[in-house]
C-alpha cells in the first residue's frame, strides 16, 4: 500500500494526496479496504499521511497552545502545520511533481459537495490539513488555498472530513470504479437529480415487490421509469436542487407518471392495510 509513509522516490503522474494530521493511525484501516484500498494499490493514485507533530520543535514536540484572549480549549500552533506543508511540497517538487493544492478542513469552510469532489479529482496533487482541539491558529490560513467544511456540525478533528473527501475524490479518478458510468448516473451527477430507487433480488421481500417494469427487459421503458423516479425523488426530497433545472415536456410527463404510480401504490397499500384491519381478531385462549 502506498498510503502510509512519504518514503518513496520517482515522479508521479497520477493523483497524489497528502494528509497532514496529528493522528496518522486514524487513516490506516480505512485506506486499506474496498475500492479505496484497491485504488491505492494502483500506481497512479497515492495517499501519503504525514504527522504534523514530526515538525514541532523541542523535546515534547508541542503542537498546541492556549488561545490569546482566553477561552476554552487549545489552539493548533502555526509553525508545525506550515512547516509540515512546506516539507511535503519540497519533497513533491524535488521529485519533479507539482505543488499540491492546499485544503484546510474547517467548519467555517465552503461546504464540500460533488462539484468540489469533481474539481479536486482533476488536480494532480492535493494536501488536506486536519485540525484538532479548537482549530488552527488563523495565520495558518495565509498558507491555504481553500477551506472546506463537511457540513454544519462540529467534528472533534478534521480526519473524518479528510477521509470523506479522499473517498469522494478518489472514486472519481479514471478507472477506479469498475463501471465508468457508475459515477455519471448517480445522485448529484450530470443529471442534477437524486438517483432513482434501485432493487436487486429477491423479487418479493416481505410483501414488497420489485416494480415489474424493471423486470420487463425493455431498456427504453426502464430508462424512462428511472428518469421519472429520479425526478419525483428530487422534487419530494431536495426541491432546491431543481431551482435551475431545464424542465423538458418529456420530463414533466415522466414526473407526472411517477407521481401517479406512487399515488396508485399508496392507495393499494392503504387498501391492503384496511383489509388487514378487517381480519377477525383471534380470540385469546
Ligand X SMILES: C[S@@+](CC[C@H](N)C(=O)[O-])C[C@H]1O[C@@H](n2cnc3c(N)ncnc32)[C@H](O)[C@@H]1O
User: Segment near ligand X (CB under 6 A), from 157-165, 171-179, 231-239, 258-266?
Assistant: 157-165
Q: Does 157 bind ligand X (CB under 6 A)?
A: yes
In the complex, the smallest distance separating the C-beta of residue 76 from ligand X, rounded to whole angstroms, is 7
Residue 50 CA to residue 68 CA, distance in Å, equals 28
Range 61-86 burial, b when 16+ CB lie within 10 A, else e? eebbeeeeeeeeebbbbbebbbebbe
Among 37, 97, 107, 189, binds ligand X (CB under 6 A): 107
User: Segment near ligand X (CB under 6 A), from 134-142, 223-231, 244-252, 253-261?
Assistant: 134-142
Q: Does 150 bind ligand X (CB under 6 A)?
A: yes
Among 68, 69, 153, 274, binds ligand X (CB under 6 A): 153
Contacts of 48 (CB under 8 A, 6+ apart): 2, 3, 4, 5, 6, 16, 17, 18, 19, 88
Q: Does 135 bind ligand X (CB under 6 A)?
A: yes
In the complex, the smallest distance separating the C-beta of residue 73 from ligand X, rounded to whole angstroms, is 7
Residue 81 · residue 52 · CB < 8 Å: yes
Q: Does 134 bind ligand X (CB under 6 A)?
A: yes
Among 22, 161, 230, 254, binds ligand X (CB under 6 A): 161
Residue 36 · residue 29 · CB < 8 Å: no
Among 12, 132, 226, 227, binds ligand X (CB under 6 A): 132
Q: Does 154 bind ligand X (CB under 6 A)?
A: yes
Q: Which residue, 81 or 193, has its beta carbon nearer to ligand X?
A: 81
The Cα angle at residue 107 between residues 2 and 76, in degrees rounded to 5: 70
Closest CA to 242 of 172, 200, 192, 279: 192
Closest CA to 198 of 213, 210, 185, 182: 210
Q: Which residue, 68 or 153, has its beta carbon nearer to ligand X?
A: 153
In the complex, the smallest distance separating the C-beta of residue 104 from ligand X, rounded to whole angstroms, is 7
Report the length, in residues, of the chain.
285
Among 39, 40, 49, 105, binds ligand X (CB under 6 A): 105
Q: Is the dihedral of CA 136, 137, 143, 149 positive or negative?
A: positive
In the complex, the smallest distance separating the C-beta of residue 63 from ligand X, rounded to whole angstroms, is 12
Q: Does 67 bind ligand X (CB under 6 A)?
A: no
Range 126-165 burial, b when 16+ CB lie within 10 A, else e? bbbbbbbbebbbeebbeebeebbbbeeeebebbbebbbbb
Q: Does 131 bind ligand X (CB under 6 A)?
A: yes
Q: Of 2-61, which residues contact ligand X (CB under 6 A)?
A: none
Among 34, 94, 156, 198, binds ligand X (CB under 6 A): 156
Q: Which residues bind ligand X (CB under 6 A)?
A: 105-108, 130-132, 134-136, 149-151, 153-158, 161
Amino acid at each position: 500500500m502506498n498510503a502510509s509513509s512519504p518514503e518513496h522516490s520517482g515522479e508521479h503522474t497520477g493523483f497524489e494526496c497528502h494528509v497532514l494530521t496529528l493522528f496518522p493511525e486514524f487513516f490506516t484501516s480505512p485506506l486499506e479496504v474496498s475500492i479505496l484500498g484497491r485504488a491505492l494499490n494502483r500506481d497512479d493514485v497515492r495517499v501519503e499521511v504525514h504527522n504534523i507533530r514530526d515538525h514541532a520543535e523541542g523535546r515534547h514536540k508541542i503542537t498546541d497552545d492556549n488561545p490569546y484572549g482566553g477561552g476554552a480549549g487549545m489552539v493548533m500552533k502555526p509553525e508545525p502545520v506550515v512547516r509540515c506543508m512546506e516539507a511535503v511540497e519540497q519533497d513533491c517538487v524535488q521529485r519533479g511533481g507539482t505543488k499540491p493544492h492546499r485544503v484546510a478542513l474547517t467548519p467555517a469552510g465552503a461546504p464540500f459537495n460533488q462539484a468540489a469532489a469533481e474539481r479536486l479529482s482533476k488536480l494532480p496533487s492535493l494536501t488536506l490539513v486536519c485540525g484538532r482541539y479548537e482549530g488552527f491558529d488563523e495565520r495558518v490560513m495565509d498558507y491555504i488555498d481553500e477551506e472546506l467544511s463537511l457540513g454544519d456540525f462540529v467534528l472533534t478533528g478534521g480526519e473524518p472530513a479528510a477521509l470523506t473527501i479522499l473517498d469522494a475524490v478518489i472514486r472519481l479518478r479514471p478507472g477506479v470504479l469498475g463501471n465508468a458510468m457508475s459515477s455519471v448516473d448517480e445522485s448529484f451527477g450530470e443529471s442534477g437529480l437524486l438517483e432513482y430507487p434501485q432493487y436487486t433480488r429477491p423479487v418479493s421481500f416481505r410483501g414488497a415487490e420489485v416494480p415489474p417494469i424493471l423486470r420487463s427487459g425493455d431498456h427504453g421503458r426502464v430508462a424512462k421509469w428511472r428518469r421519472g423516479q429520479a425526478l419525483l425523488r428530487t422534487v419530494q426530497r431536495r426541491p432546491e436542487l431543481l431551482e435551475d433545472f431545464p424542465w423538458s415536456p418529456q420530463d414533466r410527463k415522466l414526473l407526472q407518471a411517477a407521481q401517479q404510480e406512487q399515488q396508485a401504490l399508496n392507495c393499494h397499500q392503504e387498501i391492503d392495510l384496511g383489509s388487514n384491519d378487517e381480519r377477525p381478531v383471534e380470540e385469546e385462549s
